Structure 1
Amino acid sequence: MTRSRRSGFTLIELLVVIAIIAILIALLLPAVQQAREAARRTQCRNNLKQLGLAIHNYHDNYGCIPIADVNGSSTPISAHARLLPGMDQAPLFNLVNFNVPYNHVNNDPVRVIQVPAFLCPSNTDGLPSTLGGRNNYYWNAGNGIVMYDSGLTGQPAANGVIYHTRKIAFRDVTDGLSNTAAMAEKMTGDGSNGVSSPRTDTFQPGTYPTTPDEALQQCNAMDPADLSKQGYSNVGAPWLQQYHSTNQYNHVLPPNGRSCMYPPGRISTTANSQHTGGVHMLLCDGSVRFISENLDLKIWRSLGSVAGSEVLGEF
């Protein structure tokens, strides 16, 4: 009598198959994550292109880059709000009350809305939803340490594309539209001055720099773990507010570096992102470039001025 044999896996064979599957998953997972990040970077780049088109559309209609604050308010409506019609957001634009501050109750319905094109999909978010819609795309305020027009003796006025009450036209960008930054990425904050997040917090060293180089040295010299140096953690919200930590940055410290604020009215917030190695930047001509975090600081600063007559190298 012939006895039939059962076919099947031995325990050892099963363990080998499981180990092989685990190895394949371990090999594939980074590739999947890289593919997803590549898609997110592409979307982030497209968001900036859309903003660039909206800026040019606004300039065609009004002869200037969007102005941040017509009335010189201390709580101004952002220049982002003026781009909304050029981004297929006319209904939202019509809800903005430009006659009252951004945090007035009349603007609450707008303040809490998240505009998808203002948010990089790679960004991680730690902000409370009560702040309002978040923003990752900041206006270039120049390569100086003054937040707006100078009220500080001996300090030059801000020289970027955005001011409180000054209208900057493309004809004023004498350095060339392709050599001058309009916007760049910036990550949102952790929402708490009780937590130190060196990449996203705006720190307050308590010093009084008089030059960009001094601002760089003093910002990098402080200890970010010292919670008494916390300046601003609600970075990136609401997009409806025009402020150095909600939608404007400076070309003082390098991209992906630390950000600092100094009393009175001195600032050196910088661009940063979750993307490895650098940040996306929108130039005034509407093109988008990925800027290395290792870019020569002189070139980075030159990209920040509208009329500095600097000679740029490769970037």
Structure 2
Amino acid sequence: MNFRISRSERGGFTLVELLVVIAIIGVLVGLLLPAVQAAREAARRMSCSNNFKQIGLGIHNYHSAFSQLPTHGTGTTNYGIGYDEAVGASNRYADRTNHNNSRLSMLVGILPFVEQQGLWEVISNPYNDGTNQFRPMGPTPENIRYEPWSTELPAYRCPSDPGSGLPALGRTNYAACVGDSSWGTSMWRHSDFSTPQTCLQQTQASLRGLFVNFQKKQFRDCLDGLSNTIAMGEICTYLGDQDSRASISSDDLGGNSGTLETMRDAPLSCRGSLDPERPRYWGTDGTAESPDGGRGYRWADASALYTSCMTILPPNSELCSGTNPSALTVVGSMSSYHQGGCHVLMGDGAVKFVTDSINAGNSSNGQVWLEGTGVQAPGSESPYGLWGSLGTRASKEVISEEF
């Protein structure tokens, strides 16, 4: 018996076959998408590392040219160029238009050494915005009318960080490491920093990193070895989402009296303001500060919130501060939008990825300072394990662990 199949019966898919094909394609896309995203993040992470290497090379070239590290906290004052003791600690963070109050970060100084000679020429010469005539080296870094401070530089940005635009001026993801203590990073409106002499005494005891605010440092000051000392760390900028790593809680020091002494002796003071269901974010009682109190919001500003980092709390820990974080001391660790850790730039120019699980000692320990005792005594080993030891330049710790 012969069967004849019509032309219409020989062509096309049935509905069931079509649905099966669509389902298979959907499964394949679902399997491939994470791999594609992972590959893209790997590329962004590599680009971030390369940016850091270029900054490290710029620091070394700067040191070769001037026999010192770029100063973190420098610029112009009413008294001329450079840091001047006559300014006084109480006026260090005042806003000015006719000078920058020596508030410029080390990222400004290395501009000619990271292929930003054009921008450096603008900054180092008088600048007219059509209304104001700014002197060379510009005003203090919060001034939005001074275009160089609001210029965002790709060399200072990590591609994994999606932050952009106001209220930030020019964002940065790379910050100077000032060591394993935050006591004295601001030198602002505190009885212990009331005169230049007390400022110097306090900072010599507590600021033990490769960079020290307002002070000139050299590679030879790094007695622990450049390969054992963190020069800079990666930070994530604030995206307006109450991320505790990149914003300050409006619940002053987690409700712990709001004094700088509290933060010095108890670095975990702000942890009570975290959302217990989302530990990386502030809770309803600790809503993030705004509008401009965001991490990394001003690349030109040496204030601790914007371009400084410490090895006190482990990587990707919360920021902790009292009121007015743009001027006051913060306990600010390193952080990133990479999975599981962040990049650090070592003193010898090497870039390494540090995981969140690095040995960070006991985070409840108080910080080292001039009148501290026990683990807080000047000259003692870092209270914060391997992580703290990597942040100090001359505490004579032996770094024998891999990280």
CA contact (8 A) 2:158 2:173 kept: yes
Distance 1:103 1:214, change over 3 A: closer
Q: Which of 216, 229, 233 is 2:267 aligned to? A: 216
Q: CA deviation at 1:22?
A: 0.3
2: CA distance, partners of 1:176 / 1:2? 88
TM alignment of 1:112-191, pairs within 5 A: 112-125=150-163, 128-129=165-166, 131-148=168-185, 153=192, 156-191=205-240
Q: Which of 202, 206, 209 is 2:248 aligned to? A: 202
Q: Can you give the 5+ residue segments of structure 1 that lack an aligned partner in the other structure? A: none
User: Is 1:85 the equivalent of 2:112?
Assistant: yes
1: CA distance, partners of 2:296 / 2:30? 35
1: CA distance, partners of 2:112 / 2:273? 43
TM alignment of 1:1-315, pairs within 5 A: 2=4, 4-5=6-7, 6-68=10-72, 69=74, 70-71=82-83, 73-74=92-93, 76-96=103-123, 97-98=136-137, 100-104=139-143, 108-125=146-163, 128-129=165-166, 131-148=168-185, 153=192, 156-191=205-240, 196-203=242-249, 204-205=252-253, 206-208=257-259, 210=261, 214-223=265-274, 224-227=282-285, 230-231=288-289, 233-262=293-322, 265-297=328-360, 298-312=385-399, 313-315=401-403
Q: CA deviation at 1:148?
A: 2.7
**Which 10-residue stretch deviates more, 108-117 or 26-35?**
108-117
2: CA distance, partners of 1:46 / 1:64? 23
CA contact (8 A) 1:135 1:237 kept: yes
Q: RMSD of the alignment, in Å?
A: 2.5
CA contact (8 A) 1:256 1:270 kept: yes
Q: CA deviation at 1:134?
A: 0.9
Normalised TM-score (structure 1)? 0.89
Q: Can you give the 5+ residue segments of structure 2 that lack an aligned partner in the other structure? A: 75-81, 85-91, 94-100, 124-135, 193-200, 275-281, 361-384
2: CA distance, partners of 1:197 / 1:95? 35
2: CA distance, partners of 1:175 / 1:189? 33
- What amino acid is the match of 1:148? T
- What amino acid is the match of 1:26? G
**Which 10-residue stretch deviates more, 77-86 or 66-75?**
66-75
Normalised TM-score (structure 2)? 0.71
Structure with the bigger RCO (C-alpha within 8 Å, sep 6+) is: 1
Q: CA deviation at 1:219?
A: 2.7
